[in-house]
Structure 1
Amino acid sequence: MKTIGIVLAGGQSKRFGEPKALALRCGKPFLFYSVEALRSIVDQVVVVAQPHIQKQLQLKDVQWIEDVSQHKGKGPLAGIYSAMKHYEATWYIVLPCDIPFIHKTIVTSLKQQADDAFDAIVPYVNRRPQPLVAIYHHRVKSLMYDCLQQGEYRMYTFLSSCRVKHIEMKEEQPFMNINTKEQYYKWIG
């Protein structure tokens, strides 16, 4: 069972005011935390980002790609699809770049839930789905493509056409994404 880890770092970070992938926690860019959480668990880590992010970060054993041109800048669904189009695997573990408290234990427990009877393994924290910290089976690539072709970019719409296994997670902090400077100063300083 080949597994690819996908880190989504292509967002515009409008609310944050600068690329969140480059924001620091304990002297390390946010992006590093997602890559490290995946590195020993997957066969390959793929970062979907704009070229200026790659130029500013030096990461070994990581593949860098941009969204496929047809769907460039269309959000997380386009990023996940782009990685699936470039790299073949059975399962894809997806993480965003703006969750600097993520750790390997969370990713390992998600991977252990992989089940061919489902298209997606999605954790729930406080009864809220976390579709960007999730696992997707390769067969959803065509569903993603169909959504993108129809101009439907929302993850929840895409998931409504999938067989989803919901995993209840108790630990909240690893799923905390930092979207604004206020959140940054509150949780990181």
Structure 2
Amino acid sequence: MKTIGIVLAGGQSKRFGEPKALALRRGKPFLLYSVEALHPIVDEIVIVAQRCIQKKLPLQDVLWIEDEPQYKGKGPLAGIYSAIVHHEATWYIVLPCDTPFIHKKIINKLKEQADDSFDVIVPRVNGRLQPLIAMYHYRVKSLIYNCLQREEYRMHTLLSACRAKHIEMTEELPFMNINTKEQFHKWIG
């Protein structure tokens, strides 16, 4: 069972004002927290990002791609689809670049739940699904393509078309996105 980690770092970070992937927590770029959480658990890591991120953070042992041109700027579904199109695996563990409290225990819990009778393994924290920290089977490629063709870019649209296994998780901090400077100052300092 080949598993690829996908780190989504292609967003425009409008609310944050600069690329969140490069924001620092304890002197380390946010993007590295996602990469390090995935690294011991997956076979390969694909980072979906604009070239400017790659130039500023030239990581070794990862694969860098950009969104497929026709879907550039269309959100997380475009990034996931672009990675699946270029790198085949059975399962893909998706992480955003703006969760600097993520850790490998969360990723291990996801991978332990792999079950080929489901299309997606998605955590639920305090009643909220977390589709951007989830595990997707290769089969979702066609479902994502259909969403993109219909210009349906919401992750929940995809989830509603999938056979989803929900995993209850109680630890909230690893799932926290840092989207604004206010959140950054509150949680990072």
In structure 2, C-alpha distance between the alignment counterparts of 1:67 and 1:27, rounded to whole Å: 28
In structure 1, C-alpha distance between the alignment counterparts of 2:83 and 2:91, rounded to whole Å: 12
Paired letter, 2:111: K
In structure 2, C-alpha distance between the alignment counterparts of 1:42 and 1:109, rounded to whole Å: 13
Give the match's secondary structure for 1:106.
Answer: helix
Give the match's secondary structure for 1:160.
Answer: helix
In structure 1, C-alpha distance between the alignment counterparts of 2:97 and 2:71, rounded to whole Å: 20
Report the count of equivalent residues: 189
Alignment of 1:1-189 (within 5 A): 1-189=1-189
RMSD: 0.4
Q: Deviations over 1:32-68 (max 9, x none)?
A: 0000000110000000000000000021100000000
Q: Deviations over 1:59-84 (max 9, x none)?
A: 11000000001111100000000000
In structure 1, C-alpha distance between the alignment counterparts of 2:111 and 2:61, rounded to whole Å: 20
Q: TM-score, normalised by structure 2?
A: 0.99
Percent identity for Structure 1 against Structure 2:
76
In structure 1, C-alpha distance between the alignment counterparts of 2:137 and 2:126, rounded to whole Å: 25
Give the match's secondary structure for 1:101.
Answer: coil
In structure 2, C-alpha distance between the alignment counterparts of 1:158 and 1:6, rounded to whole Å: 17
Paired letter, 2:120: A
In structure 2, C-alpha distance between the alignment counterparts of 1:179 and 1:126, rounded to whole Å: 20
Give the match's secondary structure for 2:178.
Answer: coil
Paired letter, 2:161: S
After superposing on structure 2, the runs of 4+ consecutive aligned residues of structure 1 that deviate more than 4 Å are none
Paired letter, 1:74: K
Give the match's secondary structure for 2:116.
Answer: coil
Q: TM-score, normalised by structure 1?
A: 0.99
Give the match's secondary structure for 1:21.
Answer: helix
> How many Å apart are 1:140 and its aligned residue?
0.7
**Structure 1: runs of 5 or more not aligned:** none
